[in-house]
Structure 1
Amino acid sequence: MQRALELARLGLGYASPNPMVGCVVVHQERIIGEGWHRQYGGPHAEVNAVESVADKSLLPQSTVYVSLEPCNHWGKTPPCTDLLLQHKPKRVVICNTDSNPRAAGGLQRLQAAGIEVEAGLLEKDGRWLNRRFFTVVEKKRPYIILKWAQTADGFMARSDYSSKWISNAYARQLVHKWRSEEDAILVGSNTARYDNPQLTNRDWPGYPRQPLRVVIDRQLLLHQNLHLFDASYPSICYNLKEDREAPNLTFRQLAADNFLEHLLEDLKGRGVQSVLIEGGPRLFTQLFELGLWDEIRMFVAPHSFGSGIAAPHPQGYLLKKEVLDDNELQWRVRQPW
């Protein structure tokens, strides 16, 4: 199952809005086939694993390890449960059951056909891997990651916003990797105004898609010459004023009440499974107050400003710390998985 989870993770940035799934076929303690869900809309992990088995006559005597319950519905591809019923392996072991009611029910069908079924192997590891998918299904909103960099004395910027970079080059490149793994990147109006970010993964080549760029500009006061409005990649501006469509640019009007909740609901409706929020401090404070966050990735750099715009107080459970040259990276989660 550990191998199935390793394979599943290769789908990060490609499989969404589907979950990441890996599959390993074992015959007499030897792996004879494996696969993962490589691309949304493409064959699922079970299909790729079964196709990779050279001698399919071995399948009825084999055990199939799948990191998520085989799907039991027609979507862009046929149900994987049907494929397993066709080849009828001796045993199927899964990591997590599927909490999506449209796709669930595969285990019962396999059991009814006389296939031995086991569930819950490395269950916590599987839920952590697919935390984006499970959050969308169970909480009805995208998974929310807050990312910021701060000085050693706790500031995100100088008072005049003149300090564009706090973290080092290694940290900034890592952020571009993260952007390639999430569906959308979001910033508030001050971050857009003073940093003029492109919100792309240009420094992490090899990923074919760019994240959806999202900015909050309630009163539509941002200059249209900012990178976020250059139409180079799909972007959304959430506001209180108007709905408008332009090439690669959507202006979406939301109600003032519960603005952030409506924003997340709209993103979910667009198939967004995860959002990396890169600022600024006012937006972070609002999200903390509403309990609308799941993970924090915080860089601490060895600089001191003495005064300026204070970083949020880190919340949640400290998951781990990493060192990137002279920067420290802290990972925090709102609740253990």
Structure 2
Amino acid sequence: MRRALALAASPGVPLHPNPRVGCVLLAEDGSVVGEGYHHGAGTPHAEVEALQAAGDRARGATAVVTLEPCNHTGRTGPCSQALLAAGVRRVVIAQRDPNPLASGGMETLLDAGLEVEAGLLAEEAEEVNRAWSFAHRHGRPFVTWKFATTLDGRSAAADGTSRWISSPAARRDTHLLRGLCDTMLVGTGTVEADDPRLTVRDDEDQPLANQPLRVVMGERDVDPGRKVLDDAAETVHLRTHDPLAALGTLYRDHQRFHVFLEGGPTLAAAFLRAGLVDEVVAYVAPVLLGAGRSAVGDLGIGTIGDALRLHVTDTTVVGEGADANVRLLLRPTARPTTKEQ
């Protein structure tokens, strides 16, 4: 299974819209007769690629796969039927498929008389497709809130200026994180005040080929001359102030699974109050302002006992010397708002 997980996480495989999956076929003596992984939407699934590599040696083999074989026909046929047609005897699954449109492969295999086991290294398998799994399980995208702040919690100076609180190294790091998401989200206020491009760019400040969906949230019209409406990437304007409604639309109508929230203090506070922030990335600069805009708006908290507390999961110094910022990775303690509640 660890080999299958390594195949699933092969470099260059897109994180969306399809899950990353790896498969290894084992003969009765434990030798590998075929392996494969899913290379992206429209390409053969991991099981099919492994079966093609194995040929006739797949008959009587054990298929070790990181995600439950799909049970539906999309751009490709169901992997459950491909395994049956190849004569595979046994299937070992790490993670059950949380997508209701594709799940059920395990039951199909059991009904056909195959030996099936599930749950081996399930947590590791889910981490390979963290946002994809979360989105299908909760009916909304996973939300990462990113912000830059001074040591005293300011996102802008008293006169409104904010470029640049974070260092060049931190901004380069931010583009790497943006590239792991399928959606960039800001409010109309940020578009008006900062005119961001919301693209993933390289060290030469040039946009990369594959861009996340840019989303502007809010009821106000957006000036057609703003950079977020250029042709560097697709942009959607969600005319709502309701974070949960916005996320539901992104999941249902746009098949988006990971939102990178880069809006200002007001939008961030709205998502936090709604319990819709699942991860926080904070770049803390060695700077003091003493006054200015807070990094987050009013959370409705009046006493220290009600404070929203976060768990620090990683701390990294990004850059060196005067170019150094501290990147904190944190998780809120509150349970995420989901369709299951």
TM normalised by structure 1 equals 0.84
SS of the residue aligned with 1:181? coil
Q: State the one-letter code of the partner of 1:322.
A: T
1:88–1:115 Cα contact (<8 Å) kept: no
Structure 1 equivalent of residue 229 of structure 2:
229
Deviations 1:301-329 (A, max 9, x none): 22222222222487433222222222222
Please list every run of 5 or more consecutive structure 2 residues that lacks an aligned counterpart in the other structure: 297-306, 337-341
Once residues 108 and 152 of structure 1 are traced to their aligned partners in structure 2, the CA distance between those partners, rounded to angstroms, is 54
Once residues 164 and 59 of structure 2 are traced to their aligned partners in structure 1, the CA distance between those partners, rounded to angstroms, is 58
Distance verdict in 2 for CA 1:9–1:308, change over 3 Å: farther
Q: State the one-letter code of the partner of 1:281.
A: P
Once residues 248 and 126 of structure 2 are traced to their aligned partners in structure 1, the CA distance between those partners, rounded to angstroms, is 22
Once residues 224 and 158 of structure 2 are traced to their aligned partners in structure 1, the CA distance between those partners, rounded to angstroms, is 24
Distance verdict in 2 for CA 1:224–1:30, change over 3 Å: same
Matches within 5 A, 1:116-135: 116-135=115-134
Once residues 49 and 37 of structure 1 are traced to their aligned partners in structure 2, the CA distance between those partners, rounded to angstroms, is 10
SS of the residue aligned with 1:86? helix
Once residues 279 and 163 of structure 1 are traced to their aligned partners in structure 2, the CA distance between those partners, rounded to angstroms, is 13
1:13–1:182 Cα contact (<8 Å) kept: no
Distance verdict in 2 for CA 1:17–1:106, change over 3 Å: same
1:11–1:37 Cα contact (<8 Å) kept: no
| Superposition deviation, residue 15 in structure 1 | 5.1
Q: What is the aligned counterpart of 1:311 among 295, 320, 331? A: 295
Once residues 315 and 62 of structure 1 are traced to their aligned partners in structure 2, the CA distance between those partners, rounded to angstroms, is 50
Deviations 1:280-313 (A, max 9, x none): 1111111110111211111112222222222248
Distance verdict in 2 for CA 1:122–1:207, change over 3 Å: farther
Structure 2 equivalent of residue 81 of structure 1:
80
Once residues 154 and 314 of structure 2 are traced to their aligned partners in structure 1, the CA distance between those partners, rounded to angstroms, is 21
Structure 1 equivalent of residue 265 of structure 2:
281
Structure 1 equivalent of residue 48 of structure 2:
47
Q: State the one-letter code of the partner of 1:299.
A: Y
SS of the residue aligned with 2:80? helix
Question: How many equivalent pairs are there?
Answer: 317
| Superposition deviation, residue 276 in structure 1 | 0.6
Distance verdict in 2 for CA 1:48–1:206, change over 3 Å: farther
Matches within 5 A, 1:48-127: 48-53=49-54, 56-127=55-126
Structure 2 equivalent of residue 328 of structure 1:
326
Q: Does 1:297 align with 2:281?
A: yes
Once residues 22 and 315 of structure 1 are traced to their aligned partners in structure 2, the CA distance between those partners, rounded to angstroms, is 37
1:11–1:20 Cα contact (<8 Å) kept: no
| Superposition deviation, residue 175 in structure 1 | 1.9
Q: State the one-letter code of the partner of 1:215.
A: V
Once residues 11 and 73 of structure 2 are traced to their aligned partners in structure 1, the CA distance between those partners, rounded to angstroms, is 21
Once residues 164 and 39 of structure 1 are traced to their aligned partners in structure 2, the CA distance between those partners, rounded to angstroms, is 37
| Superposition deviation, residue 166 in structure 1 | 2.2
1:15–1:38 Cα contact (<8 Å) kept: no
Structure 1 equivalent of residue 6 of structure 2:
6
2:15–2:180 Cα contact (<8 Å) kept: no
Deviations 1:63-113 (A, max 9, x none): 322111000111121001111112233332111111223222211222333
Please list every run of 5 or more consecutive structure 1 residues that lacks an aligned counterpart in the other structure: 240-253
Deviations 1:5-57 (A, max 9, x none): 2332348872523222222233444444332221122221212222233xx33
Q: State the one-letter code of the partner of 1:145.
A: T
1:13–1:183 Cα contact (<8 Å) kept: no
Instruction: Supply the RMSD in Å over aligned alpha carbons.
Output: 2.6
| Superposition deviation, residue 263 in structure 1 | 1.6
TM normalised by structure 2 equals 0.84
2:201–2:207 Cα contact (<8 Å) kept: no
2:15–2:129 Cα contact (<8 Å) kept: no
SS of the residue aligned with 2:75? coil
